[in-house]
Structure 1
């Protein structure tokens, strides 16, 4: 069924009488809600978009695809991005659309050169989530670096931070009963994004977890590394945060280390390898493999970030391990280990 399905003429609908037209439209709306929200069969429920609430920016869900009984993909038309992108949702077994209660929610952010399917494709996050009454939201982030782009001081699209922290959040809360008890986890650039969002939107998350994230963005050599990486992803590296040092105020505003005091009151977990050697489950690659070399830099960066927190007296939990490549085998181990703490922080109970 297309979103703008053709309707019959007024005479065919109600014989020309407006009261019956209103009754039918109200009944159809209720039927759409019941059919699309309560269905258990796998398939696409585009009709559901008629009943959904928009975000304050006008962002709206235009398509809903039910992948399984508790896994849903939604397409979001985002004014902040100037395009439509997808978000994957895991719903708990006790979830229902008509409930008067809300559910705690975990946002899982993916790394660069990946997409919203990353967490379900590379981990057992579905099984981890199924043990708790928690909603898990995995939004698209592309290679947007989890920022509202500076665009040489002009602003404008893409606004990935606004998409994640306003549009996706409001759409989940207004249409999927996501509550105000929130946590976030991310790998690589998604880890930096989780910590940046927690600092820039103080109180939004009860707990944030970083898996091999660059948490001190302005440390020596790190701006050049970020610029090189984003250029390799086909982006204009100067458009994201601005030109290093020239636009330092904007860089600083996104830098978790520079904003560390604002992380006080949020539970923090961060992890990374340090040796540049393969860990358990890692592929057998050459010593000069980029996944090994990059983790050396990230490990040193995480140690520096830890020193910043120590100096400020901001509490944290860190897992600075030795061997481990910048890849999913290490991130899966760390994510699985911190999962119970993330659930406890948002009062997600076991089912």
Structure 2
């Protein structure tokens, strides 16, 4: 390839020992010049290709079936997410939501229950977001003004937009997911599934509050959120706000039609997992009894609402059981088959 005026014809080189080296040297120089010219010409012809930035897919630091902590970017800042990858590299995921007193270091499903062991051999990724105390996993209007919160909760956005987009880079589907939670997380699981039907194929609520428009429920939630981190419920949903309706499963129930669901709540009576052996233990068990009884009333109301709409769901109301983790661990196991069937995670 030549640039500029036409090059002169090369001189003949006489054969012989003296002429041969010069001929080979010329050939080598010509090849080298061509090699240097080609990338220059390619760059001039297609600058977008030469200047393009390569896209790298995230790399698993843990093998299939392994465990990993991810820091996921969000509008709230980096959010820790505990992940157990699908046993055989499948694209399905189960989102496990925490309760009202969610911690900032670990999701309680990972240490209060055997959830990871339950799904350890299944082709589904467990996704356990960390944090969100008193959030109801909703998008709030403003930071809580009673405890100096610096950022506005945007958990709905995180769980349905930012986190799925991040996990997609690891091969986790945006649309082949199940979601389950307890108490606050149970209410949120149905809300997120109801308003994002393209993302979730199954939803489960254990001891959730599914009729929060009932008399006294908003006041009860206000008191509970003050007790769990001094959060102001008005920053989530002002008294006149339609946000309350978005959080009430009995109101958005029609949007759940066609969604496989598992819903449970105990009676509030102490059972096999309640063995208080101290004064504080007795106090905590009493609280757990009251909370579960309230959840059971809410869940019965939700069952009646679904029946009135002709929407099927699996309900379980054990004769004993309080608002505590070992009961939710058992309910997760009861739900496992439905989750695997809905997502095809075999």
Normalising TM by the smaller chain, what interval?
0.7 to 0.9
Q: What is the alpha-carbon distance in structure 2 between the residues aligned to residue 318 and residue 37 of structure 1? A: 38
Q: How many equivalent residue pairs?
A: 283
Q: Residues 130-168 of structure 1: CA distance to partner in whole angstroms, max 9, x if unpaired? A: 22111111112421211100339xxx8221110111111
Maintained 8 Å contact 1:281/1:329: yes
Q: What is the alpha-carbon distance in structure 2 between the residues aligned to residue 38 and residue 330 of structure 1? A: 33
Q: How does 1:62-141 map onto structure 2 within 5 Å?
A: 70-79=66-75, 81=76, 83-95=77-89, 103-115=91-103, 116-141=106-131
Corresponding residue number in structure 1 for 2:345: 348
Maintained 8 Å contact 1:147/1:241: no
- Structure 2: stretches of 5+ with no match in the other structure: 1-38, 41-49, 144-150
The TM-score normalised by the length of structure 2 is 0.75
Corresponding residue number in structure 2 for 1:271: 264
Q: What is the alpha-carbon distance in structure 2 between the residues aligned to residue 215 and residue 134 of structure 1? A: 27
Corresponding residue to 1:252 among 230, 233, 245: 245
The TM-score normalised by the length of structure 1 is 0.74
Corresponding residue number in structure 2 for 1:142: 132
* 1:69 to partner: Cα distance: 6.5
Corresponding residue number in structure 2 for 1:282: 274
Q: Residues 79-103 of structure 1: CA distance to partner in whole angstroms, max 9, x if unpaired? A: 1x2x2220011112322xxxxxx51
Which structure shows the bigger proportion of residues in strand conformation? 1
* 1:283 to partner: Cα distance: 3.1
Corresponding residue number in structure 1 for 2:236: 240
Which of these two proteins has the greater Rg computed from alpha carbons?
A: 2
Corresponding residue to 2:186 among 177, 183, 191: 191
Maintained 8 Å contact 2:98/2:109: yes
Q: How does 1:33-44 map onto structure 2 within 5 Å?
A: 37=60
Q: What is the alpha-carbon distance in structure 2 between the residues aligned to residue 325 and residue 309 of structure 1? A: 24
* 1:253 to partner: Cα distance: 1.7
Maintained 8 Å contact 1:280/1:330: no
* 1:289 to partner: Cα distance: 1.5
Corresponding residue number in structure 1 for 2:153: 158
* 1:72 to partner: Cα distance: 0.5
SS in 1 for 2:132: coil
Given the alignment of the two structures, is residue 227 of structure 1 paired with residue 222 of structure 2, yes or no? yes
- Structure 1 stretch displaced more, 70-79 or 256-265: 70-79
Corresponding residue number in structure 2 for 1:61: none
Q: Which runs of 4 or more aligned residues in structure 1 lie more than 6 Å from their structure 2 counterparts after TM superposition?
A: none
